[in-house]
Amino acid sequence: MSAPVMLLGAVAVGCVVAAHLLARASWPRRSPAIAIALWQALGLGWGVATVGALAGFWASGLRPRSGIGLPSVAAAAASAPRLLLRMGTAERAWGVMTALRASSLIAGILLLALLWWILLAAVAAVLRARQRQRALLCLLAHDDPKVPGALVVDHPAAAAYCVPGLRSAIVISAGTLALLDQAELAAVLAHERAHLRARHDLVLLPFTALLRAFRWSAVARDANREVALLVEMMADDRARRRRPARELATALLRVGVSGGGLAPVGALAITGGASARGEMGVVPAGAAGSGRTCSSPAPVGARPDSPRGRAMDGELAARVTRLLKPPPGLPVLAMILLGAASAMLVLAPAIALLLPL
């Protein structure tokens, strides 16, 4: 096995290990933007390195002295049919190694196709879902002077979110309007606007797509959760430039402990006529915490003290603490090193693939 292939394999494995470590590190909260850049580099680097290693393994078998560069792969591909024919006429027997290399190539091609496919499928799904949201908002939502520029939906639970895209929207539930005061509502709007302006949906899209494809992978789940949290912190930081941090903090806390959840009690069946409140198990905003784990990623019925519940609670507390006591930024040297590491992760495998080494 040639050295470049081994290097790519090491990079691929290293990316997974680094992702595992990064998900548990505490420095990202001090500089979310750099941490997100590193996450993106890890994801992209892993993809390129894995595909490259698989393809390179195959290519290095056909022409042992060539590198893994794309030109070499192309040349190897050109000679492959001839080689296969010769193998068929017993000039070179099919050994275990050859079978392994062939499988490696197929695996590489499949992985590449899979990665592109999941990205496109995720984009299509998101666009469809946004279209449906906009159609429903057109019929159901209305303006309210308390939240200028946002749409209000008559739902008792406390929830606020934004629908990104070309025709973006900020949606506030009626429960939220009842729960928060004017200043807190302004802070919520500033936070959601920050998401829209910075196009955080584009940042999150690859990770959402990765999670859909590798749902079983703990690393994919961790990556998704961490990047989502970092994105929230970035929006908090931007909102804090326009509104006092304390208003955003109290808004977060009020919504968080309002107990207004959207967890469906049973199957997600929406039948006409049934009151949404009864069927969906909705607790109106402001109700004292009923001990329910509402809207948590854990399955309905999980005990509130489950580890998943604890991790989530930590996220809200972490954001509030960060708002009230901003942590010191990372030292400049650390930022430079991290930036360089991210760039290397992306460039090195790409260069290795393009040059005949």
Partner 1 sequence: MNRLGELERAIMDVLWESPDAMTVRQVGNCLTDRDLAHTTVMTVLDRLTKKGFVRRKRAGRAWRYRPAESREAYVAELMLTAFDQTGDRQAALTRFARSVSGSEADALRTALESLSTGGTGSRS
Please report how close the Cβ of residue 165 comes to partner 1 at its closest, in angstroms.
9
- Using the rule CB under 8 A, which residue among 181, 331, 347, 356 binds partner 1? 181
- Closer to partner 1 by Cβ: residue 68 or 141: 141
Residue written as token pair 């392994």: 100
Using CB under 8 A as the binding rule, whether residue 266 contacts partner 1 is answered as no
Tokens 């709007």 appear where? 189
Member of 13, 211, 213, 335 binding partner 1 (CB under 8 A)? 211
**Part in contact with partner 1 (CB under 8 A); list of ranges 21-29, 76-84, 193-201, 333-341:** 193-201
Measured distance CA(22)–CA(32) in Å, rounded: 12
Widest CA span of the chain, in angstroms? Answer: 82
- Residue 208 interacts with partner 1 (CB under 8 A): yes or no: yes
Site for partner 1 in 46-85 (CB under 8 A): none
Q: State yes or no: residue 150 binds partner 1 (CB under 8 A).
A: no
Query: Could you tell me how far CA 137 lies from the centroid of its own chain?
Result: 25
Q: How many residues appear in the chain?
A: 357
Residue ranges in 236-255 that form contacts with partner 1 under rule CB under 8 A: 246, 249-255
Pick out residues in 280-309 that bind partner 1 (CB under 8 A): 280, 282, 289-297, 300, 304-305, 309
Q: Which of 24, 167, 271, 307 binds partner 1 (CB under 8 A)?
A: 271
Phi and psi angles of residue 314, each rounded to the nearest 5 degrees, phi first: -60, -35
Rounded to whole angstroms, how far apart are CA atoms 62 and 81?
Answer: 11
Taking CB under 8 A as the rule, does residue 185 contact partner 1? no
Structure tokens at 143: 């303006």
Q: Which one of 7-15, 91-99, 102-110, 124-132 is the stretch in contact with partner 1 (CB under 8 A)? A: 124-132
3-class secondary structure, 152: strand
For the bound state, the minimum distance from the C-beta of residue 15 to partner 1, rounded and expressed in Å, comes to 23
| Structural tokens at position 134 | 């906009």
Q: Which region holds residue 172: left if phi is over 0, alpha if psi is between -120 and 50, else beta? A: beta
Which residue, 19 or 320, has its beta carbon nearer to partner 1?
320
Q: Is 157 left (phi over 0), alpha (psi -120 to 50) or beta?
A: beta
Q: How far apart are CA 25 and CA 19, in angstroms?
A: 10
List, edge to edge, every strand of the sheet that includes 151-153: 151-153, 169-173, 160-163
Report in angstroms how near the CB of residue 48 gets to partner 1 at its nearest: 25
Does residue 339 bind partner 1 (CB under 8 A)?
no
Residue range at the interface with partner 1 (CB under 8 A); choices 45-53, 222-230, 329-337, 340-348: 222-230
Q: Which of 54, 190, 223, 320 forms a contact with partner 1 (CB under 8 A)?
A: 320
CB nearer to partner 1: pick between 298 and 341: 298
Q: Which of 43, 29, 24 is nearest to 232 (CA)?
A: 29
28 binds partner 1 (CB under 8 A): no
